[in-house]
Amino acid sequence: MRHKIFLSGLLMLSLFPITKLQAQENADSSGNLRKDAVKVFIDCRHCDMDHIRREIPYVNYVRDVREAEVYVLETSQSTGSGGRQYTILFQGLQRFQGMNDTLVYNSQPDDTRDITREGRTKMIKMGMMRYVARTPLFKEVEILPTEGVKTQEVKDKWNYWVFELRTEPQFEAEESLKDLSWDNSINVSRITPAWKLESSFDQSFTRKKYVFDDTTYTRDRSYWSFDNLIVKSLTDHWSAGVVYELKSSSYRNIKFGLNVAPAIEYNIFPYSESTRRQLRILYGIGYIYNRYQDTTIYNKIVENLFEQQLRLAFRVQQKWGYVNVSLQASGYMQDLSKNRLELDGYMRIRLFKGFSLRLSGSVARINDQLSLVKGDLDEAEILLRIRELATAYRVDGRLGIVYTFGSIYNNIVNPRFGN
């Protein structure tokens, strides 16, 4: 008898949430306005979707873009002040076909993640109003104005100059291996629609100590560089600029290096559409001066070089997915057999309902390592990557396939026991 009561209790407990869910579904079919809510698909790589669902509960979030009535695409790019500009595209589908809009939100470099998250969410909320207004849920949304802001002229006492200082010491120790590194950088930039000026100083030092057969070995690796970029906007498709660099690298056997490279770039699409699509072609010719730490495999201790470079960069982000591919070819003009060809890419494509393909990787044919040290490297330099090694190629890649099925809705937020 006791077992029968226990089983009956389990049966009642298990049926309770099902009955409650069925009651909610019945309410949806009769009087709940949620069934008429806008079906939204948000395409965003770094959004807090739990926060968005909580703040915008008057729409239905779907897992597949083919079920959506509104497709929302967020893209971003860095601003001259060190913040980010978020461009949010709203594309109406099905009953909202032809109702499209684009909104922009700018974050400041000192904004916290919460401030940026809130600003992006509010912009999505405002963009959704025109669609929600055409559903019965409009009566459930209340818009409250804040205190008015006086119109005033913006005065920038820094004249668009932005400065960033960074230091980052790191330490890791085991019984037979100790690793100390220290990275420092200074970045200065001034970016306006007409000019782009960037300067950066980067310095790093790494010391590795390891014990083998009761003997302690120490190996150091150091690097510093001073990079500068000046770019002038010529038209909505053309740009011209120059890159010059001073550097030193024990890994690459360069005691002192100088590189000056003027270049010109053409974007087939207007730069104003850069957050959604780009096809840029860059060509430049530069002068390189290298003074090496040790004699190279070509018996050089000092070298003057001229290098040409051609680079193609393609990027597009649409509701079907995202593609970012770059192809770079470079070679020394004194000897065109000393060259490098490199292809990098990332793709995320939705092939059909619930099925998406992700592919990323790079491949390079390398034949321009003029600074390699003459002679053999010791075992420690090879294993600890203290010196650059000769290679004819480099390949890396990643492939991912994702398939999801089930309910088309994705409205529920439940963070319990999450990571």
Judge residue 235's burial from the number of C-beta atoms within 10 Å of its C-beta, 0-12 exposed, 13-18 middle, 19 or more buried: exposed
CA distance 373 to 291: 12
**Residue positions counted in the chain:** 419
Task: Report the pLDDT value the prediction gives residue 408, as an integer from 0 to 100.
Answer: 58
Instruction: State the virtual CA torsion across 31, 37, 39, 42 in degrees, nearest 10.
Output: -130
Nearest to 340 by CA among 332, 331, 349, 348: 331
Question: How far is CA 57 from its chain centroid?
Answer: 28
Q: What is the DSSP string of 243-280?
A: EEEEEEETTTTEEEEEEEEEEEEEESS-GGGTTTEEEE
**C-beta separation of 100 from 92 below 8 A:** yes
Q: What are phi and psi of 242, to 5 degrees?
A: -145, 140
The HSE-up count of residue 120 (CA atoms within 13 Å, CB side) is 30
Nearest to 387 by CA among 221, 203, 217, 223: 221
- Residue 179 tokens read as 């690793």
End-to-end CA separation in angstroms for the chain: 44
Q: In sequence order, what are the beta bridge partners of 157?
A: none
pLDDT averaged over 10-residue windows placed end to end, the chain, 419 residues: 40 35 37 74 84 84 86 85 84 90 85 83 89 83 63 63 90 87 93 89 91 81 95 93 95 95 93 82 96 93 95 84 91 92 90 82 93 80 76 91 70 56
3-state helix/strand/coil string of 1-30: CHHHHHHHHHHHHHHHHHHHHHHHHHHHHH
DSSP 3-state assignment of 64?
coil
Q: In sequence order, what are the beta bridge partners of 332?
A: 307, 335
**Number of C-beta neighbours around residue 344 at 10 A:** 16
CA distance 2 to 4: 5
Taken in order of first residue, the domains within the chain and their CATH numbers are 33-139 (3.30.160)
Task: Report the pLDDT value the prediction gives residue 325, as an integer from 0 to 100.
Answer: 94
Task: Report the pLDDT value the prediction gives residue 416, as an integer from 0 to 100.
Answer: 60
**Number of C-beta neighbours around residue 389 at 10 A:** 10
Task: Report the pLDDT value the prediction gives residue 177, as an integer from 0 to 100.
Answer: 83
Judge residue 10's burial from the number of C-beta atoms within 10 Å of its C-beta, 0-12 exposed, 13-18 middle, 19 or more buried: exposed
| Residue at token pair 């949010």 | 88
Task: Report the pLDDT value the prediction gives residue 14, as an integer from 0 to 100.
Answer: 38
Judge residue 316's burial from the number of C-beta atoms within 10 Å of its C-beta, 0-12 exposed, 13-18 middle, 19 or more buried: middle
| Residue at token pair 């690459």 | 252
Alpha helices in 334-391 (DSSP H): 379-383
| Residue at token pair 């069934």 | 35
Task: Report the pLDDT value the prediction gives residue 134, as an integer from 0 to 100.
Answer: 86
CA distance 244 to 198: 11
One-letter amino acid at 283 equals Y
Q: What is the DSSP string of 156-195?
A: -TTTTEEEEEEEEEEEEE-SSEEEEEEEEEEEEEEE-SSE
CA distance 111 to 114: 8
Q: In sequence order, what are the beta bridge partners of 39?
A: 60
